[in-house]
């Protein structure tokens, strides 16, 4: 009888732990959805204030293709060679390539906004990605990037390898 009682307590504790885990996941997803809505509002305000027209993907990424390019599109696992400038909505630059010095990157090792966005570019093309924080660095950014920052990147896709 005591053994049965202990099993019941253990099962009840496991049920409570499982319920808390599900609640935690739901809460995190809900926070991400609210953050994405806020980011999209900020991006759309930026576009309006700067008289820009962008396309939008289902994930919330906004993009503007300014030069189509004639080459291939990169795949999700491609190596790409790019020139870029990254800045915030207030135009403060946080990172950029120097001069005509390109940087070679694997799309497997960049933020989700680049993984998705660069696949929309043709080799030789250029444009702008407006990246919601949920596709950028989110709540855990590197030094120099504020938490939940919307990021803008002007990118020239020089080469796909």
Per-domain residue ranges of the chain? 40-160
Tell me the pairing of strands 126-131 and 62-67. Answer: antiparallel
Q: Identify the CATH number of the domain defined by range 40-160.
A: 3.10.50.40
Q: In this model, does residue 20 exceed pLDDT 50?
A: no
Confidence of residue 78 (pLDDT cuts 50, 70, 90): very high
- SS3 track for 93-151: EEEECCCCCCEEEEHHHCCHHHHHHHHHCCCCCEEEEEECHHHCCCCCCCCCCCCCCCE
Distances (CA, A) of 101 to 13, 83, 87, 158: 58, 7, 18, 11
What pTM value is reported for the model? Answer: 0.82
pLDDT, the chain, mean: 89
Q: How far apart are CA 56 and CA 25, in angstroms?
A: 27
Question: What is the arithmetic mean of pLDDT over 131-140?
Answer: 97
Residue keyed to tokens 């630059």: 93
Cα 141 from Cα 133, distance rounded (Å): 9
pLDDT of residue 25: 47
Read off the tokens for 14: 């496991």
């Amino acid at each position: 009888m005591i053994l049965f009682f202990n099993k019941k307590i253990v099962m009840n504790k496991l049920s409570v732990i499982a319920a808390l885990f599900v609640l935690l996941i739901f809460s995190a997803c809900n926070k991400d959805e609210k953050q994405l809505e806020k980011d999209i509002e900020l991006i759309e305000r930026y576009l309006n204030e700067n008289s820009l027209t962008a396309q939008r993907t289902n994930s919330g990424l906004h993009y503007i293709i300014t030069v189509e390019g004639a080459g291939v599109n990169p795949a999700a696992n491609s190596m790409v060679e790019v020139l870029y400038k990254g800045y915030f909505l207030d135009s403060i630059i946080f990172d950029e390539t120097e001069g005509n010095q390109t940087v070679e990157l694997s799309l497997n090792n960049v933020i989700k906004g680049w993984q998705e966005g660069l696949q929309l570019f043709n080799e030789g093309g250029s444009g702008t990605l407006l990246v919601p924080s949920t596709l950028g660095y989110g709540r855990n950014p590197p030094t120099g990037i504020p938490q939940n920052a919307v990021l803008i990147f002007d990118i020239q896709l020089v080469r796909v390898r």
